Amino acid sequence: MSPLEILTFPDEFLKKPARPVEQIDGELQRLIDQMADTMYQAPGVGLAAVQVYKNKQLLVYDIQSRDEGRELHVLINPEIIAREGRIISENEGCLSVPDLRADVQRAARILVAGVDREGKPLRIEAEGFLAVVLQHEIDHLNGTLFIDHISALKRQLYTRRINKQLKQQES
């Protein structure tokens, strides 16, 4: 299966909140498989459907290191229903925001509700790295990028650099 194209900043599609998934069918299962392949090939630890130009509240993630074996997780229509504490996600990055890493303030512990790829209800209590990954991917589904959480100056510098690169590519 060939990987999907990952949209990158400043693509406006990344700023649009995703629509809830209403039907779990074969088409959605194929999209999940394609997203998983794309995430692993990138390589990344999470991928939201909006990053591959799909307007669906769907994300895949796997925080296992490659050495430990893959453990794909799927969350459909995820919602953070509780947050607790604060941590700094150090050196956070994003497949849709290439060549930028930054410290981002996140909740230390979260409770997420959603459904799995079979439509079974899920409740995930997450902390640490898993909490960061889930917050990052759910932000994508809400039209928020991790650079929206960093200082205006860092965001502005990155935006200028990307716009300059895009202009050079057009020439």
**CB of 32 closer than 8 Å to CB of 60:** yes
Cis peptide before 20 (omega within 30 of 0): no
Residue of 71, 118, 125, 137 with catalytic role: 137
Helix (H) or strand (E) holding 39: helix 26-41
How far is residue 45 CA from its own chain's centroid? 9
137 part of the active site: yes
End-to-end CA distance of the chain: 34
CB under 8 Å to 138, separation ≥6 — which residues? 48, 59, 78, 79, 80, 112
Tokens of 121: 């209800």
Residues in the chain, total = 171
Q: Which residues are catalytic?
A: 137
